[in-house]
Structure 1
Amino acid sequence: MPSSPSLRLPRGLILLGALILWLATAYFAYHAWVHGADHRDFYPRWAGVRRVLAGERDLYSAEATRAMQIQLYGAPIPAGRDQQGFAYPAQLAVLLLPFGLIPDVEIATALWQGLSLLMLAGAFWALRASVSHRLPPGLLLALAVWNYPLLMLFQGQITALLCIILAGAAALFLRRRDALAGAVLALGVVKPELIALPALAFLWLAVRERRWRFLWGLAGGSLGLFLVSVALAGWWIPGWLNGLSAYAGYARVVWAPAELWRMHPAMALGVLAFALGMVWRGRQSLWGLLGAGIPAGMLVFPQTLLWGLTLLTLPLLLAYRRGGRAAVWLIWILGWTALFIQPLAEWWKVQAVGMPVLTLGALWLADAPEK
């Protein structure tokens, strides 16, 4: 439980405030970021959902990608450029069905951007209500407007969805609402490279504590979501796997072990040992496992550009105690600094690898004994 009581507000007032925040953010995003823009990353997701709603059961083939390009831009995208295919598991199309009902891609994208800010705020609220250390409102606001969440919002990425899934599932798990926690966690399958290691943390604790209702909730939620995706998009798994191969040919992907190995094998082995050691260190508690598991997963699995770094806001909130407080602010400053300097041709790779390592360092300082 939080160290200090929170202000109790009527539920209706909270919902009204959330609705106002959503619509105000969407209005701003539409006029400042979306209207007239040549591209936002949400566009191909919207096009994919529109495709399945029209009865097409192919999301991943070259022909499907070409059709979505024509739908969005009026002509195919030339070879050698980002083809903007639907590169996610088809479960994402299920979760985004309401946005596919909106006929205007710009309006749908702006509403998604507004909802993303709302989901990020909800994730922060769920975490703040479930930890024992104090998280000042100024810190929550600073992390919400950190450069990585802002970039995520600007492009219409989906990382905020993972934030609310993980924080919400953790809050429910800690309140022993196990079946619901498992069902919520099942939604994270839409971003497997970010959810894999944190999901193992939940599984470890659920099995160790014999909380079988969580496993049933996870299995039931996963199966239900998968069956709905098959009903909408057919047997999509082979096409998705083939599409991933094509996606890897034009997307900007970084795999931390390979990048570090090029610098020196000892660096790659050392960073992986540190990351997995931090996961092992936090094995006694859910927040300990999630705090280390989120950045460790970014180092173990390939990541696309900087979009996943928004998820680091959760472990940074967990690290904001004892010796970790100063480190959290330093990482926040370094993130903004990295936005304005470009000392290397692929500076984004340094951030994609370095920020998870620094976050693990902040968690280590937070757990270090005070002198």
Structure 2
Amino acid sequence: MTKKIPRLIITSGEPAGIGPDLCLMQAACQREAQVVVLADPHLLKDRARQLGIEVRLKTFDPSLPHAASQPNELLVMPCKLEERTVPGQLDSHNAGYVLKMLHQAVEGCQDGTFDAMVTAPVHKGIINDAGIPFSGHTELLAELTETPRVVMMLATEGLRVALVTTHLPLRDVPDAITGELLDEVITILHRDLIDKFNIAEPKILVCGLNPHAGEDGHLGREELDIINPALDKLRARGIHLAGPLPADTIFNPAKLEQADAILAMYHDQGLPVLKYKGFGEAVNITLGLPIIRTSVDHGTALELAGTGLAHSGSLNTAINYALNMIQSGQESRD
């Protein structure tokens, strides 16, 4: 039986940023996959000229069989810009274009046209300036797929870090961490490590909230009153958890060798370590969705758009992770 070639959709992100540049670079990559870019073809043609990239743009036809992308050819699913864009210059008129791409990619994953979606960076500020409330990819994808809880996880070679809370002011974090939230987040993390990464018995190390994981209550009681009881209930369900452990020592190599993922309590507890280890070669993964979604670990880099100085390492990593997750999901179901 012939193995089906996976098909991915890449949303090209903020048109004034480096997203279109990174997508054009994919024409030079050879993979056993069909990679489709969602963008305005005129934007891609203009940017290719500015970058000096020779590429054939071919309109994507979903009725044709899955086939590996051809050298120096880019399959494009057209989406029309509202206003012609200039690299590095944001225009709020194109906010709707950015969101329309995300809607189309989700729809394509839900109806089986695509096996996964990969997202180039967007600019939250310009979307909000257009009068459209937008807090990020993750929240929008949860809304579009009617998913009540999603989990942000970043990964690079040798390290996966998931978050209990994401984009919250630091003063709000302790109140946000509840037993119910920990139960939901860890359940999703455990399940997706099995279903999307094909890890039979995931081992998760959990950070404490306070320095030294609270020092037996002398440096805060969240570990004793909230985190420990929640972890004990999850352990009783067969989930392998260690912690809560001090965040300043949890990332040492001896501990990481025993872990399939680290769970950090807040954004800047876990992600600085991961980005130090793998910035530019890391990937943002949204767990809990009924579809596979990966993303780059960086922003729009407006100052690099159209200059030829942008690096595609993170987008390449995001694509490779999506492909691996497709394969792992198939293996876990077999």
TM-score (structure 2 length as normaliser): 0.29
Structure number with the bigger relative contact order (C-alpha 8 A, sep ≥ 6) is: 2
TM-score normalised according to structure 1 size: 0.27
More helix by share: 1
